[in-house]
Chains A and B, each alone.
Chain A
Amino acid sequence: MTAEDAGPAAKRARTDDAAEVADAPMPDAAPDAASEGEDFAKYTVTELMKLYYSRLFPHQDFAKWLAYGNDSKHAQADSQYFQRREFCFTLEGDIFVRYQSFKDGDELQAALVRRLPAKIDIGPVYNVDPQRRAAVAGGERAFAPVERELVFDIDMTDYDSVRTCGKEGHICHLCWPLMAVAIKILDEGLREDFGFNHLLWVFSGRRGIHCWVCDDRARQLTDEQRSSIATYFAVYKGEEKGLAKLALSYIHHPAVQRALEALNETWIETILPNQELLENEGNWEAVLAYIPDEDVRDTLRSRWQAGRVLKMADDSINVARWHDLVAEVDKAAHKEKDLKRKGALSRCKDEVVFAYTYPRLDMEVSKKMNHLLKAPFCIHPKTGKVCVPIHPERAFDFDPDTVPTVAQLLTELDSNNGKSSMDDAVEVFHEAFLDKLQLASRETLAAKARSAAAKPTLAW
């Protein structure tokens, strides 16, 4: 059931029609032409948006991406392709303006500067220009999405029960490795298992990450296929009775095993010490709850309370206690005669690692072709941070605290002769994603041309 199911006669919700919403007025205090050395930090994010959209937002590269080669003069290029893509603007006061579409990057930029959306969402490519959906023969029923990137959304708030450094909107270098390892696991899985090549990873501006899988094949997936991929990755299934629910088998599927190896490394090196998960009683009880044996729990508890754990020179207390836990569980599993209990014991170490570190996906976002997702290079309205691309190979080096804010960028722009950290973000966009994508898009068009040439034609 999609939005187009509403009857054509039904008056659309207040949010739908672009024409009904007046252009955003410029706030009086807004800096229109920045004078030398102005301190942009004193303005609100909204006030800075006009400068951002007109001087920094990389609309040309952005449009190049979403045109997938159809902006070229190639005979097989579909010049209407970009125009059929839905954009949704969120204006001040949470007014959604859906079904926007544009001819090209310039037209998009003009609209951005005029409307100053707090947020831009990208929707699917439809069978017709979404602005003209009402004019389609057969009414709005015949208006349907035909293509859409496969997207993933991971939000730090879903990790609140397993992180100790902060909650909700909080994100810092201590919990970032959770996101970095999520990138690693999904990136590997999507490339090696599903054969996708064009993955764009983006910081969502505040507390999470997005992934756009842009291969031709990914864009054509049906909802059912999208859902199957999301479920394939969903080892973490939510929480029940205070424990993570995990879809694990006794012997791991090769993809799950590969994930575990990546997780084990991050677990010991960063997450366990960063989050101090075995530092004090409050934290370690949550970990011990995964051990299905009262005696083992008691032994560990009393030893840790008494402070009797040998600490290797460069291990933190958390890592030392983890090794202690592993040894104790292994010992108990070795002694256990009952096969079922033995299995449960030897599995519980993996369960802890999966529960604390495995990517927690927002499944609904990935399942539907027509789900909107915030565009890269947006400015987060609360933090003022840019939704910058992340190079998946350097995900662990990424620091959410140093992501440039719009005020910072504008200051840089003024003092550095038109240069700013935005250039770095755009370079990552090119290097990690766009350059290879454009090569592939050209190849797709060439292949289309070859198959068109091979087809018998009626033109004699």
Chain B
Amino acid sequence: ADDPPNWGLCPVQDVVKPFVEAQATPEGIHIDNTDQSTDIEGDALSGTEANPVFQGNVTMRRGDQFMGADQITFDKEADRYTAEGSIRYQGSGLRMVADRAEGNQGSETHVIHDLDYQLLSRRGNGGADSVTLAGELGTLRGATYSTCPPDARQWELRARQIDIDTEEGMAVARGATLRVGKVPVLYMPWFMFPTDERRRTGLLFPSISNSSRNGFDYRQPIYLNLAPNYDVTLNPRLMTSRGVQMGAQFRYLVEGGQGVLEGTYMPDDDLRDRDRSLIRYQAYQNLTPHWQARANLNWISDSRYYEDFSNSLDGLSQTSAYSAIGVYGRGQGWNAGVTADHWQLADFTLTEAALPFSRLPRAYVNWEQRLAGVLVGGIGAEAVRFQHESFDAGSRIDLKPWISLPLEGNSWFLRPTAAYRYTGYSLDEGARAPGGSSSPSRGQSILSLDAGLFFDRDTTVKGKHYLQTIEPRLFYLNVPYADQSDMPQFDTQPLTFSWGQLFRDNRYSGADRQADAHQLTLAVSTRMIRQSDGRERFSASLGQIRYFDESRVRLPGEPITEKGRSAWVADANYAPTDRWTIGASYQWDPKFSRTDLASVRARYLLPDDGVFNVGYRYRRSLLEQVDVAFLYPISASWSVVGRYYHSLYDDKAMETMAGVQWDSCCVAVRLVGRRYVHNRAGDLSNALMFEIELKGLGSAGQDTRRALRRSILGYNRDDLYLVPPQTATGQPTPPDSAADTLP
């Protein structure tokens, strides 16, 4: 989602300086002026009872409207007034100075001539031959609009007419010419844009770009606020070398739920000579205090949709469109759900066979209860009906009752657990193993013991108090062997070997395989915790599994896990200062004395929102990659960005990027050169992305900001923390920046 433009480089004072006597109503409070009285003040009163004439520093106030003038004449009968001389007006979200004005208090309309105006809520300002104000609506005629200060007009919109609705925060310009500097660059008969940040500005900006694939690419969002609790955004889009696309997004808010229904349709896309469309529905609805329905449905017309409608690496990273819908329940000590999910292929180089089995439906429940005294018992149960386009499937039930005795002291814990896992199938014809039964099943006991100690020590480093801990831990697991060679593989895969895997009672995800095991994990962790705020300055952990017997359960094509020792697993995180964070993981397999995994990630937060990332990842026989990405602010206005993401394994630069950004009060210009993998065949292509962002109006040129955010983690500082820092420390959350824009 795009965040609101940054006005940091703008002069502080307003274009139209605030009027001393007019106090702006606090944000969000709306006063209905029609039932407010009108107070007029002046140095002198003359004229008649019916047509009083006020002169001398005259002020008129009604609700949140204020007008100052040299002279105001009233017609009480017709409820009209005319004002002359150094008019100062504030109301309908605007503040303006002018020479002449007249209006009707009854219908609460005002007409003001030859004015300079500014939006109260933000930087938008300009002049107009006249404005007609009625309630919250303002119609400017012969008007200009810009967010630049008058003395540095880098861009300006001139229009025959601009209708501004400050309550909605939207404006429509008619017969508009856009000037950048002195040069008129674009004429638009009709042009809608947001005037404040309440609406999802990112989505509502018109954008113009050009690329070899799409040609001239113009998108004009149209925002329709139909009711307080639902709105529609239409997204007509013209791509000269492909055709016209229409997008629409319907958002609704109801009691205890909300949802977004989006779709795009493109008749006859010349790129693939076929119609293209996408439907997406994301919603949740609270049914009862314990049960909630959730939907996340995605459908694409063809498997190249994501690839053809995105201009960055992340368009390719998605290889399937995942849809899930279900009812989820949660309560004291239990959670359950009845769901259905399905994958649709989004990678034309793969076939349906690569897709996971759909689970239509899947029912699960996990329940846990404190039994007599310290004993804790529970059960995990799951029943699933699998389906797949290319393979026969079947249904499976998996039950795992367990009982545990969690004993704990201040400095130790001991958790013996005994469980019995039963898994049974009823398989369709094609899913059975050759000569296997149609309802194979297995039952295994699972005994495990998790134990650990905590040692502490207070130390001071560089004058700061730290708590240093050493936490040895062991995990014993015993599961008898059960032949599972005649069982299918529906949703099971070996779990990624990691620190977490050292303490799990199964080597596989899903219920198709329950590994036999007779093993002991020995592990130790240490931490340095700063006592002033509890932040972990340093933590490291080391562990290994000792296999007393070989583990014979395996998936087709998987080697047997032999007796002996697993790879060492080592993780470390170090944050020497608040700006530096370094993370490393390493796995060494003593049996073959080779490295299975080696990864280092370092991030340095440069001042003024700069960031420097460097990372190295090696995973045996899978990948070896180096990734360097940075945003380096040279000055308040100039900053350079760069990324070099090289796959040593494929000896290929996956993405190389260099760019420069010039930022000012109301214009940001980005020039970024990129060479990236742009299609499924892995071909690299060059792209020169030039973007002029007219802050507060829109952006011209590919949306480089989003491409940069994807490539340089931390380009937008908020991505770093998942949770924007200012919300971490209690400042109000930023305005609703909705889910990512549609690909």
Chains A and B form a bound pair: no
Instruction: Write the residues of chain A forming the contact surface with B, with a CB cutoff of 8 angstroms.
Output: none
